[in-house]
Structure 1
Amino acid sequence: MEESLEGYGELVEESVKEYLERFKRESSEYHSFVGECYSDLEEFVLRKGKRIASCSTLLVYRGYADGTGEDILTACAGIELYRHAILIHDDMVDMDVQRRGGKTLHRNYSEDRDGRFGRGTATFLGNIAFSLAEKAIENSGFSEEKKATVLSLVFDHYREVNESQILDLLFEYKDVDVAEWRTMASKRAASLFKLTLLSGAVLGGAPEKDLETLEEAGENIGYSFDIQDDIIDTFAEEDQYGRKPCRDIGLGKKPLHVIQALNRGSTQKAEELREFLGKDELSSGEMERIRELIKEAGGLESAKETSRSHAEKGKKLIRQTTMDDESKDLLNSTIDYVVESLEWYK
C-alpha cells in the first residue's frame, strides 16, 4: 500500500510542479519578491507527505475510469493546493512555527521582517493557493458540467472547513462536550474527505447511488483521520511529527481524547489536566504528565476506539460502491494504515 500510495503521490507532486511553473514565471516577471513567494509556496506544498487527500481523489477516479491521465492529475494538483491553502491559514491562526519539518510560511516571512509582514504575506499566499486550486480544476479537460459540480463542492466545503475552524478556535475558551466536538469535527477533516472522494467520483463518472455512499464514507474517514491527527499531536515525538508535541493542548484546544479524559477521570486529575490547557510553554516533564493523565483516565483508548469504529464504517461503505476492486483495496489499505498507526501510542 505504501509503495502504491507513494507512486500516486509522486504523480500528483509532478503535476503540482508543472502547474505552478507558469505562475512562478509570470509572478517573477511582475516582481522578483512575488516570484520568490510562489517558489516558497511550491516548496511548502511539496514537502514530504503522504498526499492522502489528493491521492484519494485519484484512487476514486481510477476506480470508475481508466488510467491516470493529465486531466485528473491537474484536478488533483488543485485538490493538493486547496488542502494547503487551508493549512497555511491554520498554521497562522495556531501560531505554529513548523510544518512537516520546515518553517511555516508566516514564520518564515516574520523572520525576514516582522510578525505583521509574516502574517500578512501568509494570508495572501493562502488566498493565492485557493485561487490556484480553483484554476487548476477549471484548466482540467473534463466536461463543463463535471468541472462545475466539483467547483461547487470546493466552494461549499471550503466554507464548511472555515466554519469548523471558527469553532475550533472558540473551543480554546470554553468547556466542550463530545457532542459539541462532533459538531465541529463534522466540517473539518470530514469535510475534506467528502470533497476528495466526491471529486474523484464525479470526474470518473460514478453513478448517483455511489456518490451518496462515498459522501458518507468520506465523513467517517474524516472523523477517523481527525482523531488520529489529534492523538499524534499529543503523543508523537518531535522527530516523528516534525513539530513539538502537545501544541494543541498548549493552545487550549479540546481534541476528543482530552474531552474524554476530562469527562472520565477523577475530579482531581481532571482539574490537573485542565491546568495545562492554554499553557503555551510546556516542559518535557509537563508533556509527559499530560500523557499520563489522558491515558489513566481512559481518554486515549476511548478516542482510539472511536477512530477505529469510524474507519470500519468508512471501509464498509467503500466496499459497497461499484468502483473496481483494486481501488477499493488501496483506499481501504490507506484507512488501515491510519488505524494501525494508533497502536504506536499506548
Structure 2
Amino acid sequence: MSTLSIATAEEVKDLLADDLAAIEREFSQQSASPIEVVTDIATYLMSGGGKRIRPLLLLLSAKALGCENHSRIRLGAVVEMLHTATLVHDDIIDEADMRRGRPSANTTWGNSKCVLAGDWLYMQAFEAALEERNFKVLDYLISLTKQMVEGELLQMEKLGHLINEEEYFDLIYRKTACLFKVSMQLGAAITHADDDIESHLGEYGRNLGLAFQIVDDVLDLTAAENVLGKPVASDLREGKATLAVIHALERGTGADREAIRTVLADRSFDRVSHVQILEILHRHGSIAYAMDTACAYAEAARLSLSMLPDTDAKRALLWVPGFVTSRDR
C-alpha cells in the first residue's frame, strides 16, 4: 500500500468541480425531450441533489489513468442517467412517497408516466453511450442493466422472507455495487487500460459499492427522518431483511427472532415497534457488526488501488471510502 496521503474533501471538490458541473450540463442536454413531461421529470430528479458518487468514481478512474477527453463527461452523465432511472423505478416498486426530503416523482406525476420516463432515461443513456463507438462500454452497460433488473426481481421474491448473508450480498451487489464497479471500469475502458488495471479498478468499485449499501441500510434503521430525507426503517416496512437484521436473527433469542419476523411479515410496526427492533439490534451488536463489515469493504477498496500511479486522482479515490462509511445520509 502506498504511503500517499489521502485527499481532503475540499481537495476532491476542487479537483472535480468543473467536470461535475460539465456532467450536470450534459445530463440536462441528454434528458431534454420534445415530450415535455419527460424533461420535467428528469429535471425534477436532477434538482433533487444526490451525492453524484457514480459519475465521481468514473471521473476519478479516468483521471487516474490520464484521460482528459469528453468521453469522461459523456459517460459520467450516462451512469447518472442510469442511476436516476433506477431510482424512478425503485420508488414505484416500493410505493415510496419521499425521495431526498421531497415528494418522489411518482407522487407528483403518477406511476404510469414515471415508468415510461424511467424507460426513456435508460434508452437515452444507451444512445449517449453509443456515441463512444466502444463495444466494451456497451458490453459493461448491458451486463450492468441485466444484473440490476435481476437484483430487483430477486428482492421482490424475497420480500417478507428471511434471507442469509450470502443472499443479502448477492442482492446488494446487483442493486448497488454493480453500478459502482462499472463506473470504475468505464473510466478504464475509455483510456484503453490493460485488463489487469481494469480488473483492480472494478474491484475497488465493487467493494466500495458493498460498503455504501451496507451503510445505507444501517442509516435506514438508525438515522433521523429529517436527516435521511425519507421515512426511517423503510426497509423493514417493505419486508426487506438487511445485514444488521440478519445478524440479529442468527444470534437473537426466540422472542427476538419472532419480533423481527413479525415486522417483516406484517410490513409494519403495528405489533412490534421500531424502538423494540432497535433495542434487539443494539443488544446483539448487530448495528456495530454491519458498520464493521462496511468499513472492512471500504478498506479492501483502498487496497485495490496499489497498482495506480501516485496522483491527485488516486489520493481522491483513497478519500472516497472514508466518506462512504462516515456519512449521515
- Structure 2-normalised TM-score? 0.90
- 1:150 alignment counterpart: 137
Aligned to 1:129: 121
1:82 aligns with 2:68: no
Counterpart for residue 15 of structure 1: 23
- Matched with 2:39 is 38
Return the letter of the residue paired with 1:127.
Answer: D
Give the one of 292, 307, 314 matched to 1:321: 307
Deviation for aligned residue 1:195: 0.6
TM norm structure 1 = 0.86
| Structure 1 position 133, deviation (Å) | 1.1
Which of 4, 9, 16 in structure 2 is aligned with 1:2? 9
Q: 1:59 to 1:279 in 2, by over 3 A?
A: same
Instruction: Determine the structure 1 residue equivalent to 2:160.
Output: 173
- Mapped pair 1:331 → 2:323: no
Separation in 1 of the partners of 2:51 and 2:11?
A: 11
More helix by share: 1
Q: Is the 8 A contact 1:9 1:50 kept in 2?
A: no
Return the alpha-carbon distance in structure 2 between the equivalents of residues 23 and 223 of structure 1: 29
Measured after TM superposition, the shift of residue 131 of structure 1 is 1.1
Structure 1 residue 135 displacement after superposition: 1.9
Which one of 213, 219, 225 corresponds to residue 212 of structure 2?
225
Give the paired residue count. Answer: 320
Q: Shift of the alpha carbon at 1:6?
A: 4.3
> Within 1, Cα distance between the matches of 2:164 and 2:190?
38
Q: Is the 8 A contact 1:15 1:73 kept in 2?
A: yes
Within a 5 Å distance, the mapping from 1:42-61 to structure 2 comes to 42-61=43-62
* Counterpart in the other structure of 2:221: 234
- Is 1:188 aligned with 2:181? no
Q: Is the 8 A contact 1:261 1:299 kept in 2?
A: yes
| Alignment RMSD | 2.2
Shift of residue 11, structure 1, vs aligned partner:
3.4
Look up the equivalent residue of 2:285 and give its one-letter code. G
Deviation (angstroms), 1:280: 4.6
Could you tell me which residue of structure 1 aligns to residue 231 of structure 2?
244
Give a deviation string over 1:13-33, Cα, whole Å, max 9, x none: 543334533753x51xxxxxx
Is the 1:217–1:315 Cα contact (8 Å) retained in structure 2? yes
**Contact 1:6-1:50 within 8 A present in 2 as well:** no
- The superposition leaves residues 138-194 of structure 1 with CA deviations (integer Å, 9 ceiling, x where unpaired) of 23xx5x3xx221111011011001111112122213221112212222322221111
Indicate the percent of aligned positions where both proteins have the same amino acid.
Answer: 22
The secondary structure found in structure 2 opposite 1:156 is helix
Q: How far 1:108 sits from its partner (Å)?
A: 1.0
For residues 164 and 82 of structure 2, the distance between their equivalents in structure 1, rounded to whole angstroms, comes to 30
User: Does structure 1 retain, via aligned residues, the 8 Å contact 2:295–2:325?
Assistant: yes
Q: Retained in 1: the 8 A contact 2:177–2:205?
A: yes
